[in-house]
Every structure is written in C-alpha cells, then in structure tokens.
Structure 1
C-alpha cells in the first residue's frame, strides 16, 4: 500500500501499477481504461509517492506478472545489473534530478541504458515537465548504420513516405522523386502498402531496390508489410533491406498484431543473413504508439505511456536502425488534443532515447482529433530541439492512403534551416554531388530536375507500369 496526504486529504494506492497510472499526466486513453487520476490532487499525490519509490523496486514489483507475459520476462532477464549499479541507490525523484544535472552527460547515459527498465524511465517521465523531457533527451546520442549513419549530433533525418492508395508504382515513384528533390529520404524510403500481400510487397521492394541501385542513393528501403509477409519475400529472394513490424508493450497486445518475440527473432536473423547494409547491419524498423494495447484490451491496467515504454524493450532487443512513435495516429480516444499529443511525443522520445534507441516521431493527428497544424509545428520544433533522430516526409503532409496529417518535406527544410541540422552525412554528400543541396546545406533554387533523374526515372516508371 502506498500513501500520501495532499491538502489534508489522504490518498491510498494499492500497488505500484496504480501509482504509475494515477501519476500520469492526463490523457483520454487512460480515462477510457478507467485507470487515470480522478482529480488533479490525486495526480499530485501519486506523483509525490512515485518520486519516493526506489528505482530497484521496479526489479521486484512487476507491473505485469513475469509468469504471464514474455515482454516482462524479456525486461527482467535482459536487465544489466552492472550498468544499473551507479544509480541503484536512487529513488525515481533522485534519478530525475540527476538526469537534469550537468553530471549526467552523453557518455554516462549511453553506459547506463542497458541498466534501465522501461518502467523506470516511464516513471521518471511522469515527474518531468516539457523542458525536462527535451533537455535530457538531447543529451542522449544513439547512432545506427545500414547504408548511411543516423543519429549523429546536429543531424536530422527523414523517412520519405511515398504512400499510394492503390500501390501504383508510377505514383509511388513520383512521390519519391518529389521527396528526393527536397532532400528527404535519408532515414529510409518507407512505403505503407495499401495491400499487405506478397505480390504487392514484392513489386514495391523490387522497384525500391532498383531505384536505390540505379541512382546510387546512400539510403535504405522498407515496405511496411507484416513481418510474415516480409519473411515470405526474403524466402523468395526478393531484395529486403529493413524488416518492419508494429510492436506493443505486452505479450497479449503483440499477439493481436500476429507476432511474438520468437517470430521477431526469426525475422531479425533472416534480415542479418542478407547482409545488405554496406556500413552497418542495423536492419530492423519498428513502429509504436500509445494506446495500441488498450485497443487490443491488453493493457493489464497499466497506463498507456508505460505500456509504450515497454514496447521499447522489445525494440531494443533487436538492435533496430529506426524506431518510430506514431504519436497521434490512433486518434483522440487515446490522445485527445494537441496538448496531449505534444506531451506524448516528447515522453516517448525521452523514454526511447534513455533506453538506447534511435527514436523518430511521426508528428501527426487524425482529422477528428482536437488538434491542428499549429500543434504539430510545436511538437515538430520541440522534437528537433530534443535531438530527435528522424521525422516523416509526406507529400503535402497529407497521407492520401492512410488518411491522416503528418509532416511534409518542407517541414524538414524548416528544421534544417532553423537549427542548422544536416541530413545523414553520406546522404548529404549525395545531395550535394547532384546539385540538390548546396555546400551550405541549403536547397538549390534551380527549377530544373537534376540530370541524374533524366530520363531514367521516366523509363523506370514506364517499365514497372507495363508489368
């Protein structure tokens, strides 16, 4: 039993899971689940209790039982006690204060990451204001490699997302050309297929592989099909760079996605065996989002922010190139408005970076949410200040296949100009080489399409449409 007194009112919380839920800043998903604080006073009381909880308590009081959840078993079994030792005497509140101090630098945080559990970092996030989340995440440096180098200081990458409602290859190729001409695509050229089957996935993968090879683009491709579809493609010698999968923070939620840890490991080993990366072998791409476990009725009474952080333990196990929190995609039932979306995106980034992950954010909202582009501009700017690894690059910021609002190619240019952020170094050199960027990291103002794309792209589109 955990107890606190606030304004002469006594509050009692039965277990650590309840303390965590009640201490979470307000969001609609936790209210929908019936686990959120019933008042601001109760939230403050829970935060006061949480600040005094020893970090090591999370190693002995599992929020979801070890015996019934393979994600919990992964978290506990993979915990690095030696990495944890320097902070093992701290409470959650003490840990927050240490993270904000100048003593906590990038090298120390990188060494500490294997000793942290998702529950520890989620608890710490609940005691932080926005500027705290930004400051600490900015200190974390996570570098990954496949065909280029992501996560370096003063760099911001983009996922070029050329989705098409019918997977038309000419339409996809046109969007890719548009994105490349704005300097987008160094994180990955990643397509959400309208039809998740082997034939559609294979056609897209082959086109992407040919395009990257033909123009010698130092980036990687991914078709965001289900992991089983991608495994089938690998078995048929279809060129696969990155294996994608949406993941969640409980075994039951992952089961609803049709996956488990064994299947993810099979896919990881298959991708490694292809050895397609030329400077590194980080070959997995994961996407997550607060509320996915609640959608599957698989949250076990744990708040959605903590469940989200637990998904990062799954991701961390497979050394991914990219992890993307698709923060506002599920809808206002989970994150009601711009205020909740902004905080959730920064919480997710903070937790993922502390756990040692290369975190990106799909800064997005659905059209029925109480949010607009001004809210997204706020999160976009704050995410960049926090040292985010990558954002989305969607034509016009409006995904015509998934029907949601995201960030555009122009948004990346805004960040790069405002904060002097550069693309991945190998990709930057390619942009400069072909006259897309100048040597000052600025988009060239010429109206002509670079000669590299003429007439090969038109031929490529025609060839694939004929097929």
Structure 2
C-alpha cells in the first residue's frame, strides 16, 4: 500500500491509513481540534492524490479500527457481500468515483454495488468529490421506506414536524403541531424532543400525538426522542409509539457513552415490532452528526467524516425507517462556519444514500457558530436538489426548547414549490382532502392552524 506522493517538489509521506484519511478531508475544525488535520492546502491535495490511488481491497485489508476491538467495525464487516466486493476490490478509489458519477450508472446499480463496500470505502470516495459531485451522486439514489406511510420516492421532499415545547406542555406542543401540518409539514414523522426524559412524560406526548393522528386520519407516524430505554419502558406500559428513536455513533466506545449497544438496539427493534403501533416494516429512527465521537473522546484518532460514514454502516444493519444528521448542531469546535456545515451536510447525505440509508438532514446551526439563516437556506436548496428524503422543520426556524436555529415550516413549503418536490404521495392526498393543498400547491388555508379546531 503506497502512502507517499510528491507534489510541487515536496515529498509527502503518511504514516498510516488513519492519518491519510484525516488529511484528505476538506477543512473541518473538529479534525483540527483532534490534531489530525492537514497542515496546509498542499498537504490536503497530496493526501487526496494518495487516497485516489488506493484500491478498495487495500482499504478493507487495513482497517482503521479492527472488528476484534470494535463492534461497529464488526457489524460493518459482516454486512459485506463477498461476490460483489471481489468484483470491485482491485478498483482504485478514483475509479469508484468515476463509476458513481458516470451517466450510464443508475441509482439501482449504485445500491447494488454498495453491498460490497465498507463504510471506509464510501468515506474515501466522498473525500475526492466536490460539492456538486456529492449532489449529483446522491440524487441518483432512491431509498423508499415505510412505517405507517412511505417516504423517499424520487422527486419528493418529506419533512419531520418538530413541535418541541420548553416544558413538554401538551397543548403547547399541539399548537405547534397544528401550525406545522397547516403548512404541509410532517409526512416523515411527528417527532418531539422531550425536556423531561421520564417514562410518564414520554407516554403523555405519545398518547397526545397518537390521538391527534388518529382523529384527523393523518398518514404519518409519531415518535418521542427520549433515550431508547425510556421509550422501551413507555411502550411496555402501553404507550402508542410508531417508532423507537436513538442517537448513534461510529465507534463502540462512543455508543457506550450514549448508553447503548448493538444488542440493546436489536432488543428495541424487536420490542417495537411486537408492541409498537407502526405497521412497518421499518420502525427505527436514528440520529447522527459529525463530531459526536470526538466530543465523547471515543474517536480513536479517526477523522469525523469517516466516523460519520461508519454511523451509516452501523445503522444499515437495523433497516431503519429514517436516519438524519443534525449538521451544525454540535457547534464551532467541530464545524466552524457555514462553509464547513454545508460541506458536512452534503457529505453526510451522500455517504448515507450510498449505504442505502433513507437519509434526512436537520439543517441547523447554533447561535455561536459563524453561520446564519441564509447559509442554511442555501444548504436546503442543495440538499433538496440532491434528493434528500426529508428535512426537519420547527416554528419560524427557531427551536424554543433546544435553543438552536433550523429550517422553518414555510421554508419546507418554499423548497417544495421552488424545486417542484411534492410531499410523499399519501400525505399529499391527505393535504388535498384537508384543503391545505389545491392542485399540488398550498391553498389559502395554508398556515392557518384553526382548521384543526
């Protein structure tokens, strides 16, 4: 395995694949915080050149984190389709990039070959791509999943309605829920982040959203994003949960810091299949985000982009209904400014789609990061063009509980109408029936939550 190149008369030698992968990244403050980033633009270019010449076989044969020491690595390795891998193992990363971007190669073919790719191979090819490459490659891939209703159809844009409330007050949450639905938001999931991670609070929110969905015959699904163990107890006590949620990470150690393991997630999956109210076949919801492993001091010296790709390899094992990255939420220590947030959002979406993951994005930023609403609107346009499965929306783009900025209900409507991306099919029919849509566009009733009174 060659880890050296000469660029502009300077010899660049990389000590390991781990170092090479980190230095081939576009600039990220998280990699710099970890002390693994390229020192100069020239070193970054040299690292990309060396990555481009690696074969897929060399990447698999030199794991950044071995299956013997990490269960995420083990799960990723066990998923590999050997005949497909054997047919591609001598491809260089550059050849894989050309194949993905070829006009003759369809999304169906990319999903086929992805079964022979490890998460590290997918991260490697993303390191060589421009932002437009990431948009073009991801847009080829259609991943449709179904809980109570199906999303992910090519040419559509679904949305998660996030009616958070600073005290988990049911009536306050329902007011936000009604407003979001009146803008046509909520076909991916009505998903609430609770302040109170108690079983009773989770049960109360699940019952309230379930009753509302049933009363208005809404083709969607509910979820309360408490810790997985809290949700499991709520379901065991009869709470109507269509899905179970959990944040995940790209290493076993980071998952332990979240209080989870592969076995626990499998137990949750079986529980919600048996006792949940979702019709399936998919009933799990995972959330990720670049930098989480570094913040948990569980990154093993691996760059945050590659670790994010490993999230999707881990998630793929469970066949989830939806996954999303919360890009920009952790803060400037990991993604310093809007340029880094936009790049990370496009990377995450592409890498997940190439894993066959039904990928959404919380396009967001915290108030101490160098970004603003215009920046995340830009990313919203790019991700919609890239075929993102869903986008998360909050009232006026301001989450009053988590205290961060996201996309708003009316932003979803604007993206749909500007880029010609309707909601998921059954939800679009329901919006027409309710009079919120007329001939595929928002009606005069749109934005009026009193239609639900």
Q: Give TM-score, length-normalised by structure 2.
A: 0.98
Confirm or deny that 1:75 pairs with 2:76: yes
Of 257-266 and 66-75, the range deviating more from structure 2:
66-75
Q: Judge conservation of contact 1:326–1:363 (CA < 8 Å) in 2.
A: yes
Q: 1:405-444 maps to which residues of 2 (within 5 A)?
A: 405-439=405-439, 441-444=440-443
Give the conservation status (yes or no) of the 8 Å contact 2:182–2:445: no
- Equivalent residues of 1:246, 1:287 under 8 A apart: yes
Partner of residue 460, structure 1: none
Question: How far 1:83 moved relative to its partner?
Answer: 3.0
**Equivalent position SS for 2:68:** helix
Post-superposition offset of 1:386: 0.3
Matched, 1:154 2:155: yes
Q: What is the Cα-based RMSD across aligned positions, in Å?
A: 1.3
Q: Which moved more, 1:335-344 or 1:5-14?
A: 5-14
Indicate the SS of the match to 1:31: helix
User: What's the counterpart of residue 40 of structure 2?
Assistant: 39
State the alpha-carbon separation in 1 of the partners of residues 438 and 238 from structure 2: 38
Question: CA–CA distance in 2 between the matches of 1:82 and 1:382?
Answer: 35
User: For residues 21-36 of structure 1, what are the structure 2 equivalents within 5 Å?
Assistant: 21-36=22-37
Kindly state the Cα deviation for residue 115 of structure 1 after the two structures are TM-superposed. 1.5
C-alpha contact (below 8 Å) 1:215/1:452 kept by paired residues = no
- The corresponding residue for 1:89 is 90
Match of 2:400 in 1: 400
The residue aligned with 2:143 is 142
| Partner residue, 1:380 | 380
Asked whether 1:357 is paired with 2:357, we answer yes
Q: CA deviation at 1:286?
A: 0.4
CA, structure 1 residues 12+396, in 2 after alignment: closer, same or farther (shift >3 Å)?
same
Residues 352-380 of structure 1 show CA distances to partners (whole Å, capped at 9, x for unaligned) of: 00000011010000000001111111110
Asked if the contact 2:148–2:242 (Cα under 8 Å) also holds between the matched residues in 1, the reply is: no
Contact 1:436–1:450 under 8 Å retained in 2: no
Cα separation, 2, equivalents of 1:356 and 1:23:
24
Following superposition, the deviation at residue 104 of structure 1 comes to 1.6
* Cα contact 2:243–2:276 (8 A) shared by 1: no
8 Å Cα contact 2:182-2:446 kept in structure 1: no
C-alpha contact (below 8 Å) 2:241/2:276 kept by paired residues: no
Corresponding residue for 2:272? 271
What is the rounded CA distance, in whole Å, between the counterparts of 2:338 and 2:447 in structure 1? 39
Structure 1 residue 451 displacement after superposition:
8.3
Distance 1:308 1:448 in 2: 36
Assess if the C-alpha contact under 8 Å between 1:55 and 1:91 holds in 2.
Answer: yes
Residue 367 in structure 1 maps to residue 373 in structure 2: no
Cα-to-partner distance string for 1:200-245 (whole Å, 9 max, x where unaligned): 1110011111111111111000000000001111211111111000
Number of the residue aligned with 1:163: 164
What residue is the counterpart of 2:130 in the other structure?
A: 129
CA distance in 2, matches of 1:365, 1:191: 19
Quick one: distance in 1 between partners of 2:194 and 2:324?
A: 17
CA deviation string 1:135-155 (max 9, x = no partner)? 000001100011211100111
SS at structure 2 position matched to 1:24: coil
1:246 deviates by: 0.3
* Structure 1 residues 190 and 429, CA gap change in structure 2 (3 angstroms): same
Question: Is 1:7 aligned to 2:25, yes or no?
Answer: no
**2:182 counterpart of 1:181:** yes
Partner of 1:333: 333
In the TM superposition, residue 59 of structure 1 has moved relative to its aligned partner by 1.8
Residue 114 of structure 2 aligns with which residue? 113
- Secondary structure of the 1:391 match is strand
The 3 A distance-change label for structure 1 pair 4 and 177 is same
3-state SS of the aligned residue for 2:42? helix
Deviation, 1:113, is: 2.2
Matches within 5 A, 1:251-330: 251-274=252-275, 276-278=277-279, 280-330=280-330
More moved, 177-186 vs 234-243 = 234-243
Per-residue deviation, residues 88-137 of structure 1 (Å, max 9, x unmatched): 32110110111111122111012122212110111001101011000000
Deviates more, 1:144-153 or 1:31-40: 144-153
Q: What is the deviation of 1:335? A: 0.2
For 1:450 and 1:336, how far apart are their aligned partners in 2?
A: 37
Query: CA 1:117–1:447 in structure 2 vs 1: closer, same or farther (change >3 Å)?
Result: closer
For 2:404 and 2:126, locate their aligned partners in 1 and report how far apart those are by CA, in whole Å: 28
Please give the alpha-carbon distance, in whole angstroms, between the structure 2 residues aligned to 1:452 and 1:129. Answer: 45
- 1:243 and 1:383 map into 2 onto residues whose CA distance is 26
**Inter-partner Cα distance in structure 1 for 2:447 and 2:40:** 59
Matches of 1:387 and 1:167 in 2, distance apart? 33
| Shift in Å, 1:277 | 3.1
Task: Please tell me whether residue 229 in structure 1 is matched to residue 230 in structure 2.
Answer: yes
Q: Report the Cα offset of residue 272 of structure 1.
A: 1.1
Q: Equivalent residue of 2:437, what SS?
A: coil
Equivalent position SS for 2:361: strand
| Cα distance in 2, alignment partners of residues 60 and 203 from structure 1 | 50
